[in-house]
Amino acid sequence: MDGFSHMITIRLTTWVNAPVERCFLLATSRGFYPSSRDGIAAGSESRRDSLQCGDTVEWMLGWREHTSRIDCIRPYSYFREVTTAGLFRHFEHDHHFAPMDDGTRVRDEIRFSLRMGPLGHVAGMTVVRALLMRMLVSKNTDLKRIAESSEWQKFVESDVITQERIPMPEGANRIGNMQSFA
């Protein structure tokens, strides 16, 4: 049985009242993924502050450790992780960032399949899907909170963002809800 024929997809859209550059740089910052945060740790031979193509991210899902490689990066709009070790037969996580009139739309799409044939598909549709969604919502909640406050400066050097393309008026209306799509 082909593992790709039973792919499971998770989608989550988060609205952030911050410029797209800030959201992207925060999401690709090594500091945003400390090892104590939900079992996620960014690793690489390099000492760069931001994730680049070829870098790895190690993370825990439930009881299993997984390793993902940054497969593609298009600054300020997109990056993709693919899992190279762990529970999954196939795992891709696409991170999309789009400037909007009132901030940034952060859209995640995860596609995965598990080993173990039909049993893996049932486990994926129930337990693993719920764990991934909880981890994704937690990460995006943190990204939103940090990007909308001055805390983002702890993770991204302010001179990296030379000009914010999206002006944010004082007291801008904050959109607090996230939308998830199955």
- Whether the CB-CB separation of 51 and 30 falls below 8 Å is answered with yes
Burial of 5 (0-12, 13-18, 19+ CB in 10 A): exposed
Token pair listed for 155: 């993770």
pLDDT confidence band for 39 (50 / 70 / 90)? very low
Query: Average pLDDT, stretch 77-102?
Result: 94
- Whether the CB-CB separation of 113 and 89 falls below 8 Å is answered with yes
Closest by alpha carbon to 160, among 23, 12, 17, 14? 23
In the predicted model, what is the mean pLDDT of the chain?
80
Question: What span, in angstroms and rounded, lies between the C-alpha atoms of 97 and 27?
Answer: 10
- Whether the CB-CB separation of 50 and 161 falls below 8 Å is answered with no
The residues spanned by each domain of the chain are: 3-181
CA 176 to chain CA mean position, Å = 18
Closest by alpha carbon to 85, among 105, 65, 99? 65
Question: What span, in angstroms and rounded, lies between the C-alpha atoms of 96 and 132?
Answer: 17
Per residue in 130-168, pLDDT (tens digit) is 999 999 999 999 999 999 999 999 888 766 554 444 344
CA 99 to chain CA mean position, Å = 17
Q: What CATH fold (topology level) applies to the domain 3-181? A: Alpha-D-Glucose-1,6-Bisphosphate; Chain A, domain 4 (3.30.530)
Out of 5-9, 60-64, 126-130, 164-168, least confident range? 164-168
- The pLDDT value recorded for residue 30 is 83
pLDDT confidence band for 102 (50 / 70 / 90)? confident
Amino acid at 54: G
- Whether the CB-CB separation of 164 and 156 falls below 8 Å is answered with no
pTM, two decimals, is 0.79
- Give the other-Cβ count within 10 Å of 63's Cβ: 6
